Structure 1
């Protein structure tokens, strides 16, 4: 049976422009650049509207890969899905995770479902569509397309959907006003949450986690509506959504497997343990992942959120009231520290802003293991 094999490589970076680790792996033959499908990264910016480390990192990667692929940097950006999440507060460590995909025969003795990956793009959005039902429904269609690209049929086999989505700027708001249209918000920072939330609801619609009867007014209001596998990040560098679906497929010949759990709040350590255990990694509270049955820890991907009611398990927190540091930075640091302690490394992917991504104040957490 002809199918695909997915590879996963975690590479440390010394800064948003550092591509040396990736190029060394390409030079050694560990990674064939022609097979790179997606790159997810953590950069050390502030994660806000003016976090240009994301764009810098993508530009550096595209320039480096252009010569390897014989393409222009612009063509590389169209070919590969780049998702850079800004903010490495606390013990979080800057790094990239490279996903490759190539055709391969599934070995006759291989059993079970293995890691599969698919990618899709929405059309460009008008500024007034960001954070509204148009973004929700277009995202839902793109998620279905990415599932098909990954060869995943059952929504239950989808364990993480990473989306890069746009945000509003003053110029974009003005462009909408000039057409006689109003945007969901005039605040660039608030628009990040609207875009993340609408994108996550699109995932929930596509996977049947909620029905399609969702409206503009539900975004950032109906927190009972959410996806348990969506992870969305806003950026200034695009006007469409880039969707990466990660799951397991019986047709995959990958050496990797993915599983997930849902954190109910920012200190839900058992959920992180559950995610690690779901891919066969023996772990308990205070114990770093250990290989079991020939399995090796690769990475964790999670969302972090300051509980909108201002408390965690009955005790007040001040993340939403701190005018010096944004709540998303607090959340990344808190959840990043929790996950790093359980994973045994700070090189984990923790993204802030989990609107409609898991229950309010919580978020999805997915783990990838290598089967040797």
Structure 2
């Protein structure tokens, strides 16, 4: 007997603080605000340490949803998982994706495994724990909890794990030093990579993708260690990890399915096509065989080797534009062309998220 149904709505935004589309769908009854479990968004910020658009977007969403949930705005963020990824370079279009979940009495005639979503939080981290084993271990625990929340038992049914994780600021680093502890880095920007990488390794541990013990020195060094489904995004607005697991479950009566593939570099069109095929869609996906593309989620990074298929790239050497912005634009353009839409979720910084220079790409379809 199926117990839950997940719905999935993509809404275009006119700016980081634009909640008009969500408000309209709530007013029309298309979205029950009490059923919202998570909101993933792309904002037109720079994706860096000082990207205010992420916090601004979350604040606007919390204020808009608070009256419907009978709680103050600061309480909304504890009830709903918000993950805002800054950076819509190139053709990427700002948007939010709203996930809702409700209990149902039966399967509704649906057979097979369908899209399910689960959420969990880690404890708050000390600044000196970011990018280290504590963050890896606590993230692994949260992934396991989120799988249980989603009704997913087999790790092979997990196709995307989205995590929002913290970063280090000067104040946070000073607090660690004052306690006699040394943070993983003294660079706020580099701390984003450490936090993303450790969080991704936590996913790999939880799903059995890595069998051996991991030490602090492996983070941002052992790039042969990675998760094929992790997507992590660092932000200044929190000190814990928010974990969202997306997969297929026989406990779901959702009209959606999810599949994924792994890009091995930034121009791996074959992997994007494989991800589309995994859910029954061809490249250039319009409605096909009763299936309609809803959204694509992917990671992107500038290859740390400095080359893509033997040719030198300059993304790591450009002091004008961050390498993560280059990577989002490149991968976003590739995916948009193959998917037939620019409203896709591409997040930069893929440390330990897929092989070096590559990253996971997941596709959700409506049946």
TM range (shorter): over 0.9
> 2:328 corresponds to which residue?
332
SS at match of 1:252: coil
User: Which string of whole-angstrom CA distances, capped at 9 and with x for unpartnered residues, describes residues 271-318 of structure 1?
Assistant: 0111111111122xxxx1032221111000000010000000000000
What is the count of residue pairs matched by the alignment?
Answer: 367
Q: Secondary structure at the match of 1:105?
A: coil
> After superposition, where does 1:1-372 map in structure 2 within 5 Å?
1-107=1-107, 109-283=109-283, 288-371=284-367
SS in 1 for 2:135: helix
CA distance in 1, matches of 2:143, 2:105: 26
* Residues 212-221 or 348-357, more deviating: 212-221
TM-score, normalized by length of structure 1? 0.98
- How far apart in 1 are the matches of 2:109 and 2:255? 13
Cα separation, partners in 2 of 1:146 and 1:219, compared to 1, 3 Å:
same
TM-score by length of 2: 0.99
Q: Matched residues in 2 for 1:175 and 1:126: separation?
A: 9
Q: Is the 8 A contact 2:2 2:253 kept in 1?
A: no
SS of 1:140's partner is: helix
- What's the CA shift for 1:212? 4.9
- Partner Cα distance (1:327, 1:292) in 2: 36
Question: Shift of the alpha carbon at 1:69?
Answer: 1.2
- Residue 365 of structure 2 aligns to a residue in which SS? strand
In 1, Cα distance between equivalents of 2:249 and 2:65: 29
Runs of 4 or more consecutive aligned structure 1 residues displaced over 2 Å after TM superposition: 105-109, 290-293
Cα distance in structure 1, aligned partners of 2:348 and 2:187:
18
In 2: Cα distance, 1:226 partner to 1:106 partner: 38
Query: How far apart, CA to CA, are the structure 1 residues paired with 2:108 and 2:363?
Result: 26
Q: Per-residue deviation at 1:112?
A: 1.2
1:80-116 deviation per Cα after TM superposition (whole angstroms, max 9, x unaligned):
0000000000000000000000001343632210000
1:319–1:330 CA contact under 8 A, matched in 2: yes
Q: Assess if the C-alpha contact under 8 Å between 2:2 and 2:250 holds in 1.
A: no
1:70 Cα offset (Å): 1.1
CA RMSD of aligned residues (A): 0.8
* 1:180-230 superposed Cα distances (whole Å, 9 cap, x missing partner): 000000000000000000000000000000025001000000000000000
